Every structure is written in C-alpha cells, then in structure tokens.
C-alpha cells in the first residue's frame, strides 16, 4: 500500500488500489476544487507531484489533475493554496465510514433443505415391505417422521430404488416452524454433493441475489439489478396504487418473478451450474414487496387500519412462481412484522444477531423506507419512520439513485465555498445520490452557508448562492460541467425535505428509546443496514442529525442484511423459526399514534437538532 | 304380502312384490321345469292356478307360464307332476341367502372434511393483525393448529374476508394419521350446507360409486359400471402385464380416471348437484387397482418378492387425477396390507366392524380374487387365496359376468334331471354367472349326476349328459332356448376349475385358523362381502364345500364392504387412522409359503370335502 504526503497540510494518507488522488483527498477531508465529477474536464483539481511516480497526464508543464491521476509509488503531493497556514487544515473532517461488520455464524452450515443418502436393504420374501414403507422406516430411524409426500414422489420411487440397488439420495426439507418434513425428490445413488440455494433480497428499488452451496455455505455467485416494478411506481405506495388497476397486481408479480428468473440464470452462468441443481430459494423483502412477489392483495396494507394479507408465509413451490421447472424446488420467505416493517427487517435482525446478544443496539435500515429496531436478546422494539425517499434522492430537485454519474461525495472549501465532488463511475455529474445529499448538506452547514434552521445565509454573497426559480439554492455544478447541460443545484426546499426525513428518523429513535425508558446515550451499538449504510459518511450523517452523536466506534455498517438474513435462512435450519420468534418478540410502535411523536419530530427539524446537548461533537 | 300354497307339496310361500311364480318356486326349492330363463318362450313351466288372481296369459285353456305370471292375490298353485307323493318334496332344499347385515355406525357423522363457519372480528387500528394471522388465531381456538395452507388460499383471503364483513366458511381437511390439518378453501358467508363426498370402490371388474352428503351421511345417488381397464386384461395379472407396455400404465390410469369422472358426473345428474360441491373422494380398491389408479408401477407386486410401491397413500388433489376442477377437492385411499390383500379388504374390515367386536369372524370377499380375514377386536389375520376368477364366471366354458341373460339360479329335478333356470333380467340365457355356477354344481351333485370327485356319472343315461368336444358335459340349455344359438353346457373341466377355486378358499380358512390354533367350528360368524355374497345360496355354497358347514344363522351378507368402508372414511374422521391400525394389526399369511397348505388344498378337492365330518349337514 502506497502512502501519500499531502502538502501544505503535512497529512499522510494511505492509498487503496486504483484510487485517484482526488478520491484519496476526499477520504481524508482534504479539499481540492473539482466540479466535473472526476471526468477530467474542468481542469480545476490541479496538483503538483513533488516526489514519486504516477499514472496521469502532465498539464501546463507541472500539474497533474487529481481526478485523473493514480499513484504508482509513495508520493508527496502539493495542493496549490494561497497561504501555507491554511484554515482548511483546521476545519478538515476526514470522511469516516462506520466499521464493516462481517455477519457470519460460528455454527456449521446445516440447511433446512438436506440431501440425504440411504442404502436400504432390498426386500426379501420374508420382509417384503412396500417400497414407501421401507423408506419411511429408514427415515424414522433418522427422526424424520410423518413427512409430507406427493404422488410424483411415489410414482418415481419403485424405479429409482431399483436403479442402483436401493442406494438413493432424498431431497428433504424441514420446516422448523411446524417441525414438519417434506420429502421432495428422490435420485438413485449418492447425489448429496449437488444442493444449491439462492438468497434473494427483493428491495423496492433493487434486487440482489446470491447463489449458495447449501452443503458448505459457499457463495458461488452474486448479481443485482433494478426491480423492474420501478416502471410502475417508484415507491411502495405508487405500486399499491398500480396494483389496483385491472391485472395490475398480476403484472407486478410477473415482472419481478421474470426478472428474478433471469437473474437466477445469470447466477448459474457465472457459477457454471444448472437450474435443476437449485433446491431452495430464500426471499426477504418488505411487506409490500413480499405481497407483490406472491401476488397477494396489497391494498389493505395502506388502507386504514393497515392490514397485511399475511405476515408469515407458507413454503411455496418455485415452479408455481415460475422460478424453477422442478416441482421440488421450494421458496421460503422471511416473515414480516407489520405493514411497514417487513421481512427485510426480520432478516436484518436475524443476520445481525441483535436478538442473540447483550448490547443494546439501534438497527437502522435506510432504504427506500426507513425502518428502525432497538433491542437486544431480551427485547426488541421496532418502527417504520415516514422518512420518505430523500435518502435515495427522491423529492430532491436534482436527486437521483446511486448510479453512474451520481455525485456521491462532496467537500466545500470553507474559504472559497468552491465544491469538490466525486461521482459514481467518474462520469460527468448527472445529479446527487443519497450519500452525496447528506455530504452536501453537512458541508454547507459546516462552512456556514446554511444555518441551523436549514436556510441559506442570504447575507453571504457568492456566485454559487443565488435565488433560483424555486427559491434560494447553491449551485453545486455549473451547467458547463454537468452531463445534463443544466446547473446542478440544491434548493432550500431540498434541504427542508432532507431535514424532515432525518427528523423523522431521529424522532423515531427517541420514541422507541423513550418507550422503554432509555435515551440515545444508552445505545451501545448502532448498526447501519442497507447498501446506503456502506457509503454514508459518519461525521456528515451526525452533523446533520441523521445519526445520534455517539462515539464513532459504536457504529457498524452491515451491508445488505436483508440478503444476508435470507442467506442465513438457506443455511441454518432453525432460521425461519427464529425469524418467527423475532416477529413475535418485536413490539411494533406506530409512531404517528404515539403522543410525543410530533414534539420530538418538530424538535429534530434543525441542524443538527434543537437540543444541542444531543450533539456535543457538532460544533459549528 | 300375498301367500301361495304350492300343490301337491302343500308348501306355503310368501311373495315379494313383482316376483314371478317361477322365482318364488326357486326360492322355496320347488322344482318347475324351465329352460328359457324366464323369457316365456319354452312353454315348459306350466302351472295351474287353482285359486286366486294373477297377471299372466292363459295357455291351452288352463295353464299359466310360471315364468311370466305374477300373483295379484293369495294363490293356490298346482304344479303338474306324475304322482301326488313326489320325491321332489323330500329332496327340496329351499334357497337360503345369508341374512343381510346393514353396516351402520351409531356415532354421529363427522367427516374429516369439514366446512367451518367463522365470524371474525374485523381489524382495528389497535388490533390490526394480518388477515392470515387473524384467521390462524381463530383456528387455534378450535384446536386447529399449524394447518397446511397454499398460496391460492392466501391470495383469496383478503377479498373473501371483506366480502361479507369477515364472515367466512372454511374447507378444512384433517388427516388423522398425522393429526394434520389442511386448509383448502375459503368462501364468504355461511356455506356450511354444501359439502359432498364420493365413495368409490374400484374393483377389478366393477366400479361402484355413491354420492354422499358429508354433513348428514345421506346417500344422494349410486351408480356403477364396468372398469374400462377390462379391455386391457380381465384380471390383475394381465393388467400388470399390459402396464409394462410403453405408456401402458399411463393408459390404464387414464381409462379408469376418465370413467370415474364420467360416473361422478352421472351421480351429480341424478342428485342434481354440481361438481364443485364435491370436496372429498374416498377410494378403496385392491392393491393393483390402487396402483393403476394412481399410476404407480405395479410390476413389482407380482415379481418376486412381491413388493407394492406403497401400501399407504398420501392425500392427493382430485384435480391432479383429473377428477375435479377444484384444487381443494381431495382424494384419500384405503391403505393396503400386501400385494394381494388391498384397500378393499381394509375397507371391508372397517365397514364390518370386525376389529371392534368380540365374536371370532371369518370375513370372505369373493370378487375377482378371493381374500379372507379371520379375527376380532384382539387380532386379525388375512390371506389372499389364489381362487382364480371361477366365481365370476372366468375359466368356465359358458361362464359370464352377472349381467343380463346370465343364469343366476338353477334347480335340477332329481327325477327327470331337467333343469329349472332363472336369468338376470329375465332374458334368454347367454351363459352362467358365479351364483349360477355354484347353484348348478350343487344341484348336479345333489341329484347324483356328479360324484364326490367332481366327475359325471357316466353310468346314468340322459339326453342332457353327453360327451362333448371338451369331454363329458351337462346341457343346461338347448340351443333352441339360448340367446347365443348354442347349447349352454357345463363341462367336467368347468367342474374341476370350480372345485380348485373352492378348495383354495377352504384351505385358506383352515390355514388361517390353524395358524392361531383354532378350527372351523370355532367361528362365531361368517361375513360374506362383495355383491357375490348377496346372491350366493348358502345351502348350495356349503354343499359344494365353498363355505364351512356351520349353523346357517352365523352367515351374513354385507354387500359391497369396500364401497361401505370408503364411505365410512368419508363420514367418520378417524377412519383412515383406524384403517392404518387394521393394516398394522393384521397378520398376513402367504398361503403358498405355508407348509401344510398343499395338504389342506388337496383334501378340499372333493365335494364337499375329503373329510366328510367337516360337512355333517351335507348328506347326499
């Protein structure tokens, strides 16, 4: 790992492979003006390489562009500034992501879907039990009693038994919730080694899938794509609305199933395996996504008094959902707690092991919706926060999803108020995604362009601060540098939306904690779930009051816990039962019904909060 | 009820409605020559009506034809004979059928397939449980826990609940073998009154069906037809052979299912009900019929060491078998004991309540195969006798099934050796069915035309006794009176086949009894199952040594116990479990493996038996 010394600040930085100098500087909170997103067109991010070798283009005889230069050795890099003793160094806030927590279980893998090998004694005239009775007795000896079987199985049985002299492999699924066995298939000989599963997270926006070996737990492939239902509605509410149209529900179900089938085939291509090798598919999704996937009527989820068709799901044949051609491939779903606390959260609680450990943990899943869980092995309490889609770029003028060209990190120079931006894929900026929005608001607040109430400081005169058609705004990218040919701006209205969203989240933490007689300071851990949690900058999120101001070591990002929980349910046989227990154990609080909620919410509509004592480290 | 005095014998007879005088005479063992089967063409059965009114045609100024004359008042009837003191009266053996035993249970009907009505509390904001959880809790209160549900059910649930303000009717099936509930359908409102079942006996030769109200037990319709598989083989062995051909098994399964579907529709037409009202179909059949119905490979049933694919059956969706368009209609089958002691016998044991009562009972099912059970509530022992199809007319030169034109009862005049016959449907005789064959042999033996060894007495000269192309034979019907234009004869070879068949049965009783240290005289009851049992004449069957020579009061005919057992399984919820217990309790004896079997069999190849002490009442 190379090292860079940044002058004039004398800051030592470590270099990750393939990082540009702009990205490294951004991580360390070192400001370099940059407005083209890393595409190399604005020529503003000029730096001088004083020592070492780089890959990059020399301009004007002595500069390199930070956004297009990659270290090839240890370096000394000088950033041209007016004065050696620059205030920037003092104001520097290095980006700090939460620590990654790798979610793994210590226990050995034991899937609920087992392949079991039997060498049965062939019948004799003295002991000529029927084939099925012979097998049933062998199963009984393995404590597999009263399994459900179907006609296909019985039809196959006599042939298969006699193919390899009564040596057979059985496909057996055990549903821990009913302690019930299902005998699904029979093959001759020893076929135990072929046993694949697919874990699926059905997000409102994104589908994520992993192909897993059910014997070893090894992940053989991963893939991801947008949920094709997006074309019929960005959020759960608009999808429920669409489902009310004639055949709307059927269409939404078909769309997501077709896409999943396609993605499963992609997994198989990557891993060079066959569709018929998949025996178990484990799904986690929020309540609406689970309903739509199964073609269950979702409208009562959103109509008062908010009733799901179901919160727990039977085992379903994957063939019936068009995901397999084999009758014996099963689909299991993570149970939901309530209309807006779904299987993704149950899966998340399971994956994060909160309910099995002592520390009081705040679990935050900031996806298209914001759900929170607080608890430990003794109790769990949860709520859905009506945070809206701001953290995914929704309701923000130039907000966008975290795709190519989205501004994902921002730094604003405290002296010049000039921005430094980084886009996803180093493309010309098209808009701002969730982490960029938080980053931008935190920076605007920190350099003093936005006040505690979330309003622009109109007394500061700067070319980027102006009154636009939607009121006051900060121009983050001039149209010359943007991919859209328009200025990319951040309006006061955007700020208001973002503050409402983070206020709803923070009031949520407080209500949940209050309901059990605790406060924010009692939290021992904060778990950030969802891909969002992976990219969020802790300091910035705390600066705007989205996350509580706790010791930074208490924060962990967990990645996609919905997917991980779905995978646990593939690999550990009691998972569905544990999920059911979590659902039963978890008290659900309907925040809007809670008397103090409005007070807490109103108090949180400031940066970082009306009550500054809650955010001692945020000193502006 | 009218009375007839028959002269010159001075025998008083009681008249059943619509009986002809020939039929009445046959019942009372009064011989009247008659060879046209009751069609009125032979003009031999002349009688004189001395007193009373009849419906019939006067011939030759003073006679009526017994076969075509029906009493309209009390009568005095004279049969023209040579002498007033006729030996016939002394030799007279009135026909004596076994008493009918009506198989009914005292307990109230409680089908395993229930329609349950619920008035659920609609959700409120304080109690907004998911629809399924709400229902599940209501079910729990009725001790219906962990039911199996499917996706269709869940998809229907939200709509149906809200159609009539959370008043619903559920279709619930309880499998007593696993104590497991299956939730199959949901309707809005109170739909408890619609709940039909079909009981089916799949015989090798005949299919019999009843449409039953599952709430009340009332039989709404009955129908019957041949098993269409007959075209592919008369007996189970030839069907197993046919099933080995390409697609043979599939074809046999399809044929019987299609015919059953047709017959079910016929039941519904008779009762003016709809296919969708049928919820449960209960089937009983022998092991081969059960295998073919379910398209289970039957070949190992007949290949050493004789192994069925299964002897117990899961619950199957009637839709999968093409018997219903509703997913929620179920099919249950009576379990089998062994390759040749099938579900028809299990059903029979259940219907006859043998296993619930004290008396030591011999249960005989004489269908296409002959199966016997001996036991009481403490033990059960069973065997299949390789009796062959003689009792259904198979292997008999002019044997035929019991259909229109079959000679079903015979009397032979001890002096003139002239026969008196009655055919089914009073049609011209086409052949002889099982009861007729027994009747014929018993008569031939009784009048001395056949000796103990089953050979014709060639020393007796009579026009009807002759050497034909297949050896010695008795001409029962001259070609002038037969429907076929051929003489209907009974050959020595036929007699041999019949004696082998009855010998196999009798040796079976003896082996079973010996195996438990008992003998024929220990039997307290003899139950005759199958339609055959209904028509058989006790005296005749004992005369030829087919039934043991016990007090006649010990004999009962039960009708189609396979169908009755299937019906019990529709109406009494624990029946399948009881059947399973019967199967487990019932010791199966493979007669051919039994050391003494051959000795017993050889000894039984006489009329009535080598050991005359076994048949004290048969004095020839």
* DSSP secondary structure letters along A378-408: S-EEEEEE--TTGGGTTTSTTB--SSTTEEE
In a domain, B177, yes or no: yes
Beta strands in A549-603 (DSSP E): 555-559, 586-588
Residue A410 · residue A420 · CB < 8 Å: yes
Question: Which distant-in-sequence residues (6+ apart) come within 8 Å of A508 by Cβ?
Answer: A370, A372, A383, A385, A591
At residue B157, φ and ψ (nearest 5 deg) are: -55, -55
Share of chain B above pLDDT 90, in %: 80
Boundary residue ending a domain (A127, A153, A188): A188
Q: What is the number of helices (H) and of strands (E) in chain A?
A: 16, 29
β-bridge pairing B75-78 and B3-7: parallel
| Closest chain A CA to residue B151 | A316
Comparing CB atoms, the residue among A155, A296, A305 nearest residue B123 is A305
Interface probe, candidates B128, B319, B322, chain A, greatest A C-beta count within 10 A: B128
State residue B403's pLDDT score: 87
Q: Is the pTM of this model over 0.95?
A: no
A297 touches B: beta carbon within 8 Å: yes
For the beta sheet containing B330-333, the strands, ordered from the edge strand earlier in sequence to the opposite edge, are B219-226, B206-213, B196-202, B278-285, B330-333, B316-317
- Taking contacts as CB-CB distances below 8 angstroms, the residues of chain B near A300 are 131, 158, 162
Report H helices in B142-235: 151-163
B39 touches A: beta carbon within 8 Å: no
| Residue A219 scores a pLDDT above 90 | yes
Comparing CB atoms, the residue among A130, A133, A316 nearest residue B151 is A316
| Residue A83 scores a pLDDT above 60 | no
State residue B336's pLDDT score: 98
Residue A176 · residue A577 · CB < 8 Å: yes
State residue B457's pLDDT score: 96
Q: What is the mean pLDDT of residues A344-351?
A: 97
A117 touches B: beta carbon within 8 Å: no
Question: Which distant-in-sequence residues (6+ apart) come within 8 Å of B85 by Cβ?
Answer: B8
β-bridge pairing B278-285 and B316-317: unpaired
Quickly state the pLDDT bin for B316 (edges 50, 70, 90).
very high
Residues A15-67 have pLDDT tens digits of: 998 899 998 988 888 888 887 877 777 888 889 999 999 999 888 888 999 98
| ipTM of the complex, rounded to two decimals | 0.91
Quickly state the pLDDT bin for A536 (edges 50, 70, 90).
confident
Helices B343-352/B561-571 angle, 10° precision: 70
Beta strands in B360-470 (DSSP E): 361-366, 370-375, 380-385, 406-412, 419-423, 431-432, 465-468
Helix (H, G, I), strand (E, B) or coil at A583: helix
Name the range with the highest mean pLDDT among A421-425, A582-586, B414-418: A582-586
State residue A398's pLDDT score: 95
Helices B343-352/B575-585 angle, 10° precision: 110
B178 touches A: beta carbon within 8 Å: yes
B316 touches A: beta carbon within 8 Å: yes
Q: List, in sequence order, every residue forming a beta bridge with B450; answer none if it has no partner.
A: B456
State residue A620's pLDDT score: 66
Q: Which of residues 563-592 of B touch A (CB under 8 A)?
A: 590
A155 touches B: beta carbon within 8 Å: yes
Question: Which distant-in-sequence residues (6+ apart) come within 8 Å of B246 by Cβ?
Answer: none
In a domain, B461, yes or no: no
Q: What is the mean pLDDT of residues B212-220?
A: 97
| Residue A235 scores a pLDDT above 70 | yes
Cα dihedral B273, B274, B276, B281, rounded to 10, equals 60
B612 touches A: beta carbon within 8 Å: no
In a domain, B179, yes or no: yes
Report H helices in B215-322: 236-243, 248-271, 287-293, 299-302
Closest alpha carbon to B389 in B400, B380, B378, B379: B400
State residue A69's pLDDT score: 92
Report H helices in B272-325: 287-293, 299-302
Helix (H, G, I), strand (E, B) or coil at B484: coil
Q: What token pair was written down for B148?
A: 């199996």
- Taking contacts as CB-CB distances below 8 angstroms, the residues of chain B near A304 are 125
- How far from B454 is each of A574, B616, B618, CA to CA, in Å? 72, 19, 15
- How far from B290 is each of A387, A486, A510, B175, B333, CA to CA, in Å? 62, 77, 66, 19, 8
| Residue A90 scores a pLDDT above 80 | no
Quickly state the pLDDT bin for B98 (edges 50, 70, 90).
confident
How far off is chain B from A102, nearest CA to CA, in Å?
34
Q: Do B155 and A125 touch (CB under 8 A)?
A: no
State residue A41's pLDDT score: 79
| Closest chain A CA to residue B145 | A178
Residues B12-51 have pLDDT tens digits of: 999 998 899 998 988 888 888 887 877 777 888 889 999 9
C-alpha span between A366 and A35 (Å, rounded):
28
B478 touches A: beta carbon within 8 Å: no
Q: Are residues A79 and A181 in the same domain?
A: no
In a domain, B31, yes or no: no
Write out the residue range of the structural domain in which residue B147 sits.
Answer: 113-188
Q: Do A297 and B155 touch (CB under 8 A)?
A: yes
State residue A40's pLDDT score: 77
In a domain, B184, yes or no: yes
| Residue A284 scores a pLDDT above 90 | yes
CATH number at residue A570: 3.30.420
What mean pLDDT value characterizes chain B? 93
In a domain, B284, yes or no: no
Burial class (CB in 10 A: 0-12, 13-18, 19+), B15: buried
DSSP character for B387? -
CATH number at residue A123: 3.10.20.880
Residues A545-560 have pLDDT tens digits of: 999 999 999 999 999 9
Q: Do A123 and B307 touch (CB under 8 A)?
A: yes
Q: What is the mean pLDDT of residues A261-286?
A: 98
State residue B582's pLDDT score: 97
| Residue B335 scores a pLDDT above 70 | yes
| Residue B609 scores a pLDDT above 80 | yes
Q: What is the mean pLDDT of residues B351-357?
A: 95
Residue B109 · residue B185 · CB < 8 Å: no
- Taking contacts as CB-CB distances below 8 angstroms, the residues of chain B near A307 are 123, 128-131, 158
| Closest chain A CA to residue B291 | A155
B130 touches A: beta carbon within 8 Å: yes
State residue B59's pLDDT score: 87
Instruction: Give the number of other Cβ atoms within 10 Å of residue A517's Cβ.
Output: 7
β-bridge pairing B555-559 and B525-529: parallel
In a domain, B162, yes or no: yes
Q: What token pair was written down for B619?
A: 């004095």
A125 touches B: beta carbon within 8 Å: yes
Up-side HSE of residue B393: CA atoms within 13 Å toward CB? 19
Question: Which distant-in-sequence residues (6+ apart) come within 8 Å of A425 by Cβ?
Answer: A403, A404, A405
Residues B143-189 have pLDDT tens digits of: 999 999 999 999 999 999 999 999 999 999 999 999 999 999 999 99
* Secondary structure (DSSP) of B316-339: EETTTTTS-S-TT-EEEEPPPSBT
State residue A88's pLDDT score: 62
B501 touches A: beta carbon within 8 Å: no
Instruction: Report how many Cβ contacts below 8 Å link chain A to chain B.
Output: 133
Residue A342 · residue A310 · CB < 8 Å: no
State residue B188's pLDDT score: 98
Residue A371 · residue A384 · CB < 8 Å: yes
Element (H, E) at B220: strand B219-226
More confident site: A472 or A92: A472
State residue A200's pLDDT score: 98
Q: What token pair was written down for B534?
A: 């209904």
Quickly state the pLDDT bin for B89 (edges 50, 70, 90).
low
State residue B92's pLDDT score: 65
Q: Which of residues 505-544 of A touch B (CB under 8 A)?
A: none
Q: Are residues A145 and A85 in the same domain?
A: no
Share of chain B above pLDDT 70, in %: 98
Boundary residue ending a domain (A63, A92, A121): A92
Residues B478-493 have pLDDT tens digits of: 999 999 999 999 999 9
C-alpha span between A244 and A297 (Å, rounded):
9
Interface probe, candidates A121, A127, A130, chain B, greatest B C-beta count within 10 A: A130
A316 touches B: beta carbon within 8 Å: yes
Quickly state the pLDDT bin for B82 (edges 50, 70, 90).
low
Helices A434-446/A492-515 angle, 10° precision: 100
| Closest chain A CA to residue B134 | A310
Comparing CB atoms, the residue among B305, B309, B590 nearest residue A132 is B309
- Taking contacts as CB-CB distances below 8 angstroms, the residues of chain B near A137 are none
Name the range with the highest mean pLDDT among A68-77, B87-96, B190-199: B190-199
Quickly state the pLDDT bin for B86 (edges 50, 70, 90).
low
Of A79-88, B290-299, B314-323, the range with the lowest mean pLDDT is A79-88
Q: What token pair was written down for A213?
A: 């070996």
Helix (H, G, I), strand (E, B) or coil at A466: strand
CATH number at residue A86: 3.10.20.30
More confident site: A187 or A61: A187
Q: What is the mean pLDDT of residues B577-589?
A: 96
C-alpha span between B8 and A579 (Å, rounded):
92
Query: Could you give the number of structural domains in chain A?
Result: 3
Peptide bond into B8 cis (omega under 30): yes
C-alpha span between A467 and A453 (Å, rounded):
18
| Residue B85 scores a pLDDT above 70 | no
Q: What token pair was written down for A248?
A: 């709307």
Q: Are residues A373 and A507 in the same domain?
A: yes
Residue B361 · residue B354 · CB < 8 Å: yes
Q: What token pair was written down for A243?
A: 């489902």
Q: Do A309 and B125 touch (CB under 8 A)?
A: no
- Taking contacts as CB-CB distances below 8 angstroms, the residues of chain A near B155 are 294-297, 309
In a domain, B122, yes or no: yes
Beta strands in A502-554 (DSSP E): 525-529
Q: Are residues A605 and A520 in the same domain?
A: yes
Boundary residue ending a domain (A188, A206, A237): A188
Residue given tokens 């921002």 in the structure block: A410
- How far from B65 is each of A303, B75, B79, CA to CA, in Å? 85, 15, 11
What mean pLDDT value characterizes chain A? 93
Question: Which distant-in-sequence residues (6+ apart) come within 8 Å of B459 by Cβ?
Answer: none
Burial class (CB in 10 A: 0-12, 13-18, 19+), A60: exposed
> What length does chain A have?
620
Element (H, E) at A140: helix A131-141
Quickly state the pLDDT bin for B244 (edges 50, 70, 90).
very high
C-alpha span between A591 and A511 (Å, rounded):
8
Q: Are residues A370 and A504 in the same domain?
A: yes
Q: What token pair was written down for A124?
A: 């004799």
């Amino acid at each position: 790992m190379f090292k860079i010394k940044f002058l004039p600040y004398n800051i030592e930085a470590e270099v990750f492979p393939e990082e540009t100098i702009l990205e490294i500087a951004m991580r360390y909170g070192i400001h370099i003006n940059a407005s083209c997103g890393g595409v190399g067109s604005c020529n503003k991010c000029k730096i001088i390489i004083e020592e070492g070798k780089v890959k990059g283009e020399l301009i004007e005889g002595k500069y390199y562009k930070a956004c297009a230069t990659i270290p090839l050795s240890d370096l000394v890099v000088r950033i041209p500034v007016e004065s050696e003793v620059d205030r920037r160094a003092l104001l520097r806030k290095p980006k700090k992501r939460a620590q990654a927590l790798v979610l793994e279980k210590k226990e050995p893998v034991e899937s609920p879907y087992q392949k079991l090998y039997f060498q049965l004694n062939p019948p004799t005239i003295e002991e000529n039990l029927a084939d099925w009775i012979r097998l049933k007795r062998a199963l009984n000896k393995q404590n597999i009693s009263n399994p459900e079987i179907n006609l296909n199985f019985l039809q196959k049985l006599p042939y298969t038994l006699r193919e390899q002299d009564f040596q057979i492999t059985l496909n057996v699924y055990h549903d821990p919730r009913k302690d019930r066995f299902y005998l699904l298939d029979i093959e001759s000989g020893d076929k135990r080694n072929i046993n694949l599963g697919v874990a699926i997270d059905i997000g409102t926006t994104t589908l994520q899938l992993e192909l897993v070996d059910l014997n070893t737990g090894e992940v053989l492939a991963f893939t991801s794509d947008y949920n094709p239902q997006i074309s019929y509605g960005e959020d759960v509410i608009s999808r429920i609305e669409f489902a009310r149209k004639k055949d709307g529900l059927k269409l939404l179900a078909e769309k997501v199933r077709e896409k999943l089938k396609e993605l499963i085939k992609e997994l198989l291509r990557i891993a060079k395996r066959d569709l018929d090798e998949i025996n178990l598919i484990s799904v986690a999704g929020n309540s609406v996504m689970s309903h739509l996937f199964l073609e269950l009527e979702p409208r009562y989820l959103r109509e008062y008094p908010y009733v799901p068709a179901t919160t727990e799901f039977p085992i379903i044949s994957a063939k019936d959902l068009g995901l397999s051609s084999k009758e014996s491939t099963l689909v299991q779903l993570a149970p939901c707690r309530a209309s807006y606390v779904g299987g993704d959260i149950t899966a998340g609680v399971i994956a994060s092991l909160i309910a099995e450990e002592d520390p009081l943990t705040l679990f935050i899943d900031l996806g298209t919706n914001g759900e929170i869980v607080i608890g430990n092995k003794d109790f769990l309490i949860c709520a859905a926060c009506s945070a809206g889609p701001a953290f995914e770029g929704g309701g923000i003028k130039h907000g966008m999803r975290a795709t190519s060209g989205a501004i994902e990190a921002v730094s604003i120079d405290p002296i010049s108020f000039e921005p430094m931006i980084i886009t996803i894929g180093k493309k010309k900026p098209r808009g701002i995604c969730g982490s960029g929005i938080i980053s931008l608001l935190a920076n605007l607040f920190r350099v003093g362009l936005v006040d505690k109430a979330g309003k622009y400081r109109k007394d500061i005169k700067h070319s980027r601060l102006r009154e636009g058609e939607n009121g006051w705004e900060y121009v983050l990218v001039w149209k010359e540098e943007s991919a859209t040919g328009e200025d990319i701006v951040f309006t006061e209205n955007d700020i208001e939306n973002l503050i409402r969203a983070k206020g709803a989240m923070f009031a949520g933490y407080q209500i949940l904690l209050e309901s059990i007689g605790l406060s924010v300071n009692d939290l021992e851990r904060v778990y950030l779930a969802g891909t969002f949690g992976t990219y969020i900058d802790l300091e910035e999120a705390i600066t705007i009051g989205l996350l509580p101001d706790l010791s930074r070591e208490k924060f962990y990002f967990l990645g996609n816990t919905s997917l991980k929980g779905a995978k646990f349910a593939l690999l550990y046989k009691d998972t569905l039962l544990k999920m059911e227990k979590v659902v039963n154990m978890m008290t659900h609080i309907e925040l809007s019904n809670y008397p103090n909620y409005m007070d807490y919410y109103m108090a949180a509509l400031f940066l970082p909060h009306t009550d500054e004592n809650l955010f001692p480290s945020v000193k502006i």
